[in-house]
Structure 1
Amino acid sequence: TTCIQFVNYRYAIVHIDGEQYPPYSISHYGYHRIPKCFGLMDQSSLQESGIIRVQELEALDLRGRGVLVGFIDTGIDYTNPIFQNADGSSRIVSIWDQTIKDGTPPEDFYYGAEYTREMLNQALQSENPRDVVPSFDENGHGTFLAGIATGKRDEEADFIGAAPDSELVVVKLKEAKKSLMEFQEIYTNDIVYQETDIMMGIRYLIGVARQQFRPIVICIGFGSNQGGKEGKGALSSYLSAVAESSGVCVVACAGNEGQARRHYYGPGRKGQRVETVEINVGEEKGFSMELWGSSPNTYSIALRSPGGEVISRIPPGLSESREVQLILEKTRIRVDYQLVESATGNEVIVLAFRNPTKGIWTLDVYCDELNDVGFHIWLPIQGFVSEGTYFMRPDPDTTIVVPGATPSVLTMTAYRHLTNSLYLEASRGYGRACGVKPDLAAPGVDVYGPNTRGGYTTKSGTSVSAAIGVGAAALLFEWGIIRGNVENMATNEVKKLLIRGAIRDGERTYPNREWGYGRLNVFEAFQSLTRL
């Protein structure tokens, strides 16, 4: 059987019976049509970002009133009092839990279970809330991000979120299909999400906001190294359309790939040449990597294993697929060429390894270049591949993850607010074709927030800084849309206002690959308007 769900005018998700149709194949379906896989990006902050001042300053008194904040993540601990009003009722408008199979899905959706505010309030009044609304956040990532972005004040714990009077809409993502993970050679105990489920989650959040006639800020705390990082894949294109809509702001994390040694850059040199790339492979059941070039340049590859077996140069083809089983080693390699990838028009070469031999692999890249743009290769993100797998000559730049590399979204990197030093693991810009990224830096090291046991913990990572950026955007939406100062405000307007107020150190040139336009400061954004 075949089931079709429409995302928007451009994208639809087709669910097919795997026994009746060919298995995943880039040459058959095309690179663009196979969902990509995503993982989570986590590894006194509000005062540093000027948020406490705009909350407490009588002339502003911004706390996110009238604004929805949407989370697509691991779920939320809806029983935590910081997500409740003073009377004990829920501040959560609704939850769509994609993992629950025996509930009632949202209207026009075909899976998961939706829980409305009325159901959540009924659960909160029950002795056993989970008997009424059986949605959990087993991981805690979603609860933490929601807490630092929107949590109510907890006097005893000395805690408050950035937009404590906003309301929440939550999507708990289901994990990616095992068949898709196996096709992409992902074998991990970490959480893996599927692009199509994320897109449906975004559609749900936008639908709820329209039903409520309210603006919404969407938090993206996950990322991927798949897709070319040009802002033109399915998820990135959909987010671009959403982010440009009035009353919508999309905030994404930059990623934690800056020191991971999982990016290689081959600078362009006009003419024909061969560039040798060495990859150290650790203990892996499998992994994949992607080489992206820019049209009209053409690339092809040859490969040599640690044991000395050679895969001779595979000539470029419009849509070439080849699978090779090494003779003296257990390794099986699938090589897919897409000379004109349908979303970008550029060339992509995907190499998928099963049972790779441990040691140094040598990749010879045959370059026929008409310009000096060069090529990029990305290994999977942290958690999808072991720390023992990396490039011998890595490049820390151009490591912003997808969808943070999307031009239209507000992309946040992380720094340690106690010392004003950049988070060591933070991904660095710029994007391949998306201009300045990251946009801004926010606190993201040892940030204090809620856990799922009723207490508090600290977390680090650019997803944390993205959540602080989400809270800042919700305050600007209250000022701009709810109070009528900039009624058609969207992501771009939020981004420009925050860039105006960013704190920039005199010894650095801005924008730059590490800090973007500077450190987030919402109060200074308003101060900048007084100087016009």
Structure 2
Amino acid sequence: MTESERFKITSDEYADLIIDYNYDMGILAQYPNASYNIINQRYAVLNIPVSEMTYNAVYKYGYASIPKCYGLMFERATELDGNYYIQNLPAYDYDGEGVLIGFVDGGIEYRNKAFQYDNNTTRIVSIWDQTIESPDRYPADFYYGTEYGREEINLALQSKDPLSIVPSTEINGQGTAMAAVAAGFNSNQFSFSGTAPKAEIVAVKLKPAKPYLKEFFGISEEALCYQENDVMMGIKYLLQVAKSLHRPIVIAVGLGCNQGSHIGEDFISRYISEVGELPGVAVIVAAGDEGNRYGHYYGEIGSPNIYNIAELNIGSENENFSMELWGYPPNLLAVDIFAPNGDFVYHVSRSYKQLNTIPVYYNDTVIYIDNRLQEPFAGSQLILFRFQNAAQGVWSFQVSGSHDLVNRFHIWLPLHQFLRNIYFMNPDINTTLSIPANTVNIITVTAYNPVVLELYYYSSRGFTKTNEPKPDITAPGVNMVIPTGIDQFAYFTGTSMACAYAAGIAARLMEWGVVENNLPNMDCTFIRYILTSSARRDSSMNYPNQNWGFGILEENVFGDIV
């Protein structure tokens, strides 16, 4: 990437692709019309003219290379329903001092007192705002956005007009809420404290997904979503800051996606799995808020049945959306599509050969279909359906199998916030973990209400598609009283809140292990071991559990190790 090319990163006239060039720069040279921005020695982001992102882009570039759309994992309560959780942990010997907690999200409200010391100076080490362009203020080798350091943030806090110095703000509130839950400074009001109140903060404000990508996947213009490649670059930035300061870091990811194989082998999952192996680094991810959203279907085909029918309700006329069917090897699946009035629309045949994208026309409805067996890392069949102007009513997908084996398959819709009244008539609540929560070398956290001891109703459930035990742990995440805005409190619910809660506990462990040199090579695997082994478990349940993981997070995890 050169200075003259960097405008392509943020320009709506250029599309993005994620490439696994595997340490071979010659692979990048195969794209002569593209500019590229390096994530690490294995992954890079290519920028190509948006005109090349045609209807058959999946056929041309591969499904894995097209960035997926990520959404937030929280909801804000307008009023309490009679029970809420006030965060007020008892004092321990460890409070995260010397540890960084990094957030890749919608930004942070740096003016909030929860992120300041008693002398009104900031506890935020730096902010990388991907949405603010400046000629020379981007982090080294990132080529977009603007970086604001501690000194500049302190100047802003002393100013009568802070935003004239550091104009980075947050609108949706999740990033600020997560930072407060994990690392908010003690507040007498509401008896609030973050779980690691002396940890310091690094924040990334993601830029919104480009219009072409939302259009490609049928996501409305007003939906708030972020691109997979920007999330990966955000994680890279957090690692770079931690390395420059020689500090351990806990990375909290409160985002999720439903696009992909759900086995932890897509680009972002492989990347953060590698990150989780680094000493002094832990990656904590929200399980997702897709349980009880009716966005997942699971089917089996075995004797004497020769097919399985998935029924999808489309509640409004002229809807745009995508849907993914993933099989299991070595089976090969076929699908017959039927319109709401019973008309046969199209037969997706079994084929080992990679076919071009198939456009199917039915009255005003258009369906683009990609039938793929050669997706990197997935190892199973993908049939991607992209609907435009879908007719209202219940569509039927008759799935048939091959060979004499039991044929199993999953169908996932996008995140619920990207849809409008579209759902399966006979959904399956399990295997609804959002990507990258199904990644092995990270810590996946789901949410519960610690007042009534109930799992959050919309928490995504495990296990992964390959039956790996996830989530790992359950933490408070329902009706959390959290500082937001500048001097306000609000009530947040979601697995992102539970993720932040666990991130603070992980920072306490990092302080003991890395900062105090008790275990200087402490990594994500070791922290997951401590959190899961010390978890509180119900004798009436089996563990690992599809809903609760290995149990409820024990805040005082030091009893067995100190």
Question: Shorter-chain TM-score category?
Answer: over 0.9
Supply the AA of the counterpart residue of 1:286: N
Offset at residue 311 of structure 1 (A): 2.3
Per-residue deviation, residues 158-179 of structure 1 (Å, max 9, x unmatched) = 2111111111111000000110
In 1, the alpha carbon distance for the partners of 2:407 and 2:253 equals 30
What is the distance in 2 between the residues matched to 1:169 and 1:323?
45
| Shift in Å, 1:274 | 1.9
Residue 12 of structure 1 is aligned with which of 38, 41, 44? Answer: 44
Out of 415, 419, 430, the position equivalent to 1:397 is 430
Is the contact between residue 271 and residue 369 of structure 1 (CA under 8 Å) also seen in structure 2?
no
User: Do the aligned partners of 1:501 and 1:522 also contact (CA within 8 Å) in 2?
Assistant: no
Residue 300 to residue 424, structure 1, CA distance change in 2 (3 Å): same
- Summarize the Cα distance change of 1:83–1:373 in structure 2 as closer, same or farther, 3 Å threshold: farther
Equivalents in 2 of 1:458, 1:420: separation in Å? 18
- Alpha-carbon displacement from aligned partner over 1:367-416 (angstroms, at most 9, x marks no partner): 11564461100011111112x21111111000000011111110011111
| TM-score when normalising by structure 1 | 0.94
Q: What does residue range 29-68 of structure 1 map to in structure 2 within 5 Å?
A: 29-43=61-75, 52-53=89-90, 56-57=91-92, 61-68=93-100
1:264 Cα deviation after fit: 0.6
Partner of residue 319 from structure 1, selected from 330, 337, 354: 354
| 1:373–1:119 CA distance, 2 compared to 1 (3 A) | farther
Structure 2: runs of 5 or more not aligned: 1-32, 76-83
Name the CA distance, whole Å, in 1 between partners of 2:230 and 2:256. 14
Which residue in 2 is equivalent to 1:309?
343
In 2, the alpha carbon distance for the partners of 1:518 and 1:157 equals 28
* Cα 1:470–1:268 shift into 2, 3 Å: farther
User: Which amino acid is the alignment partner of residue 12 of structure 1?
Assistant: A
1:526, distance to aligned residue in structure 2 (A):
2.2
Does 1:75 pair with 2:107? Answer: yes
Residue of structure 2 in register with 1:374 after alignment: 408
Closer, same or farther: CA 364–14 of 1 in aligned 2, 3 Å: same
Check whether the contact 1:32–1:233 (CA below 8 A) recurs between aligned residues.
yes
Amino acid of the structure 1 residue aligned with 2:361: Q
Q: Mark the CA change 1:270 to 1:205 in structure 2 (over 3 Å): closer, same or farther.
A: farther
Q: Which moved more, 1:15-24 or 1:315-324?
A: 15-24
RMSD between superposed Cα atoms in Å: 1.8
1:301 Cα deviation from its structure 2 partner: 1.3
Task: Return the letter of the residue paired with 2:490.
Answer: T
Shift of 1:46: 7.7
CA distance in 2, matches of 1:268, 1:213: 54
| CA-CA distance at 1:227 after TM superposition | 0.8
Aligned to 1:208: 241
Distance in 1 of aligned mates of 2:52 and 2:457? 48
1:295-317 superposed Cα distances (whole Å, 9 cap, x missing partner):
21111212111133322312233
Q: Is the 8 A contact 1:272 1:366 kept in 2?
A: no
Q: Distance in 2 between matches of 1:24 and 1:490?
A: 42
- Give the equivalent residue in structure 2 for 1:144: 177
Give me the whole-angstrom Cα distance separating, in 1, the residues matched to 2:281 and 2:156: 30
Candidates 345, 350, 353, aligned match of 2:384: 350
2:244 match: secondary structure: helix
Match of 2:59 in 1: 27
Alignment of 1:160-239 (within 5 A): 160-187=193-220, 189-239=222-272
Q: How far apart, CA to CA, are the structure 2 residues paired with 1:497 and 1:270?
A: 45
2:165 and 2:57 mapped to 1: Cα distance?
42
- Deviation of 1:23 (Å): 6.3
Is the CA contact 1:220–1:466 (under 8 Å) kept in the aligned structure 2?
yes
Alignment CA distance shift 1:214-1:529 (3 Å): closer
CA contact (8 A) 1:294 1:346 kept: yes
Give me the identity figure in percent: 40
Report the CA distance shift for 1:477/1:244 in structure 2 as closer, same or farther (over 3 A): same
Counterparts of 1:315 and 1:293, CA distance in 2: 14
Aligned residue among 370, 389, 394 for 1:360: 394
Q: Which residue of 1 aligns with 2:528?
A: 495
Distance in 1 separating the partners of 2:51 and 2:253: 34
Cα offset, 1:188, TM superposition: 5.4
What stretches of structure 1 of length at least 5 have no aligned partner?
none
Distance 1:270 1:170, change over 3 A: farther
Residue 33 of structure 1, CA deviation: 0.7
TM-score, length-normalised on structure 2? 0.89
- Matched residue type, 1:515: W
1:527 alignment partner, SS class: coil
Separation in 2, partners of 1:268, 1:216: 46
Question: 1:20: how far off?
Answer: 6.0
- Match of 2:333? 299
Instruction: Name whichever of 224-233 and 481-490 sits farther off.
Output: 481-490
- Give the distance between the partners of 2:347 and 2:223, measured in 1 at CA: 35
CA distance, structure 1, for counterparts of residue 403 and residue 459 of structure 2: 31
Partner SS, residue 241 of structure 1: helix
3-state SS, counterpart of residue 63 of structure 1: coil
Give the residue type in structure 2 aligned to 1:298: L
Q: Deviations along 1:172-225, whole A, 9 cap, x unmatched?
A: 000001101111111153311100100110111111110011110011101111
Which residue is 1:455 aligned to?
488
**Aligned mates of 1:508, 1:268 — CA distance in 2:** 30
Mapped to 1, the partners of 2:167 and 2:434 lie a distance apart of 33
Deviation, structure 1 residue 21: 6.9
CA offset at residue 266 of structure 1? 1.0
4+ residue runs over 6 A deviation: none
Q: 106-115 vs 36-45, which deviates more?
A: 36-45
SS of the counterpart of 1:31? Answer: coil
Q: How has the CA–CA distance of structure 1 residues 369 and 193 changed in structure 2, closer, same or farther, with 3 Å as cutoff?
A: farther
For 1:529 and 1:369, locate their aligned partners in 2 and report how far apart those are by CA, in whole Å: 52
Q: Is this contact kept in 1: 2:258–2:435, CA < 8 A?
A: yes
Matches within 5 A, 1:498-513: 498-513=531-546
- Aligned pairs, how many? 518
